[in-house]
């Protein structure tokens, strides 16, 4: 199994990113071969500030390393450091149907809202397809909202294969565990778009203040409360041990407790849960040259594979080896 996934450097990771996706990426790195990249070319569709994009790209790499990505097991690199992917993207674009791209969610949703949509956003799924196909990836871990892009990739690759021979491996989506849905501090799905996140690497003091401000219902203290569906309990379940989680559930069902007590326990559990990752982040951040070495090594490995795939595609369609 060869796993491929990209993470856009558009902001610091929050609990939703970590529990909803990154933990599963880390688990998959042990399966066989895993390629993980910082998708800075994709980020250009939204970030138009050079210094900001550069810093966020480095931060994304540091965050992944701190959260458990092991460069001895997985290949970590920056998307733009593998120019073969951009070349492959053009080969795919020459046969990508307009109608297929017009139906893709990101472009379609932006147009529906009357917002300007550039060519980069329109062709985003083709570059994403090149990202996947360049490494002969057969498994792509994605959220349910990204499954469409894997289907687009399969369509584009299948069409190329039909015209020029069996060049590309057709990937399959590995839908990330739906049970890992993480509620935001307002009860909705945690998302930067909703401004309801808890950042993984926020200071314990700031995060405690955020947690203490989470709104709760107005039931009397003595009333039992079902833990299922309660935002505080759901967040606590993510960072607490099995034993502590069960004790909290019993407290909810018994009643005679205050939400302030739960919030304090949640803040303490979160601080303990992420303490090692925060320490690792400080170590990596204090040695950015080591991070760049990891990325350079990863890019060299990724380029070796992408070059072979690109040459295969170029020869198949007649622009090389004629």
Q: Is residue 186 part of a domain?
A: no
User: In this predicted structure, what is the pLDDT of residue 111?
Assistant: 77
Q: Domain check: are 22 and 92 in the same one? A: yes
pLDDT of residue 179: 52
In a domain, 249, yes or no: yes
Please tell me whether residues 177 and 93 are part of one structural domain: yes
The pLDDT of residue 180: 60
Looking at residue 238, its pLDDT comes to: 96
Token pair belonging to 126: 């083709």
Residue 187 in any domain: the answer is no
Instruction: For residues 160 and 255, state if they share a domain.
Output: no
The answer to whether residues 156 and 196 belong to one domain is: no
Which residue range forms the structural domain that includes residue 168? 2-181+288-317
Angstrom distance (rounded) from CA 54 to CA 9: 9
Beta bridge partners of 175: 142
pLDDT recorded at residue 243: 97
Phi, psi (5° rounding) for residue 81? -80, 0
Residues 156 and 240 in one domain: no
Residue 197 lies in a domain: yes
pTM of this prediction? 0.91
pLDDT of residue 194: 87
Report residue 115 CA to chain centroid gap: 25
Is residue 3 within a helix (H) or strand (E), and if so which, with residue range?
strand 2-7
Residues 47 and 150 in one domain: yes
46 lies in some domain:
yes
Total number of residues shown for the chain? 322
Same-domain status, 96 and 161 = yes
Residues 301, 34: contact at Cβ < 8 Å?
A: no
Do residues 49 and 155 share a domain? yes
Please give the chain's pLDDT, 322 residues, in tens: 899 999 999 889 999 999 988 998 888 887 668 999 999 999 999 899 999 999 999 999 999 999 999 999 999 999 999 999 999 999 999 999 999 999 888 788 877 777 777 899 899 999 999 999 999 999 999 877 788 889 999 999 999 999 999 999 999 998 876 556 799 999 998 988 789 999 999 999 999 999 999 999 988 989 999 999 899 999 999 999 999 999 999 999 999 999 999 999 999 999 999 999 999 999 999 999 999 999 999 999 999 999 999 999 999 999 998 7
The CATH number that applies at residue 114 is 3.40.50.620
Integer Cα distance of 198 and 140 in angstroms: 26
- Start-end of H helices in 94-241: 98-102, 105-112, 119-122, 124-133, 147-164, 204-212, 231-239
Q: How many domains does the chain have?
A: 2
Q: Is residue 148 part of a domain?
A: yes
d(CA 293, CA 282): 17
111 plus 235 within the same structural domain: no
Identify whether residues 137 and 249 lie together within a single domain.
no
For position 231, which CATH number holds?
1.10.240.10
Whether 107 is covered by a domain: the verdict is yes
N-to-C CA span, the chain: 33
The interaxial angle of helices 50-66 and 288-317, nearest 10 deg, is: 100
Catalytic residues: 110, 189, 192
Q: Do 263 and 148 lie in a common domain?
A: no
**Do 107 and 218 fall into the same domain?**
no
Name the residue among 73, 79, 77, 78 with its Cα closest to residue 26.
73
Residue 201 lies in a domain: yes
Element (H, E) at 250: helix 242-254
Measure the CA–CA gap between 220 and 67, rounded to whole angstroms: 40
């Amino acid at each position: 199994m060869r796993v491929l996934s990209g993470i856009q450097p558009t902001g610091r990771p929050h609990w939703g990113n970590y529990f909803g996706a990154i933990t599963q990426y880390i688990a998959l790195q042990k399966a066989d071969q895993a390629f993980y990249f910082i998708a800075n070319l994709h980020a250009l569709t939204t970030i138009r500030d050079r210094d900001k994009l550069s810093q966020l790209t480095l931060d994304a790499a540091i965050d992944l390393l701190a959260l458990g990505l092991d460069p001895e097991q997985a290949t970590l690199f920056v998307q733009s450091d593998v120019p073969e992917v951009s070349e492959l993207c053009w080969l795919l674009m020459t046969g990508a149907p307009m109608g297929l791209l017009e139906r893709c969610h990101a472009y379609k949703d932006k147009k529906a809202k009357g917002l300007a949509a550039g060519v980069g956003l329109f062709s985003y799924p083709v570059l994403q397809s090149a990202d996947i196909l360049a490494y002969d990836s057969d498994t792509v871990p994605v959220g349910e909202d990204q499954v469409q892009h894997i289907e687009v990739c399969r369509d584009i690759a299948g069409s190329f294969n039909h015209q020029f021979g069996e060049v590309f491996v057709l990937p399959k989506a590995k839908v990330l565990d739906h049970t890992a849905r993480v509620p935001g501090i307002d009860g909705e799905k945690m998302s930067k778009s909703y401004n309801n996140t808890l950042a993984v690497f926020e200071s314990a003091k700031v995060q405690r203040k955020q947690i203490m401000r989470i709104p709760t219902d107005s039931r009397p203290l003595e009333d039992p409360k079902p833990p299922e569906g309660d935002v505080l309990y759901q967040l606590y379940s993510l960072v607490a041990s099995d034993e502590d989680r069960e004790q909290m559930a019993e407290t909810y069902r018994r009643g005679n407790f205050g939400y302030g007590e739960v919030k304090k326990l949640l803040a303490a559990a979160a601080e303990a849960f992420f303490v090692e990752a925060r320490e690792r982040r400080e170590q990596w951040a204090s040695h950015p040259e080591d991070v760049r070495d990891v990325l350079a090594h990863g890019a060299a490995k990724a380029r070796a594979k992408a070059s072979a795939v690109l040459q295969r595609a170029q020869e198949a369609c007649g622009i090389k080896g004629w």
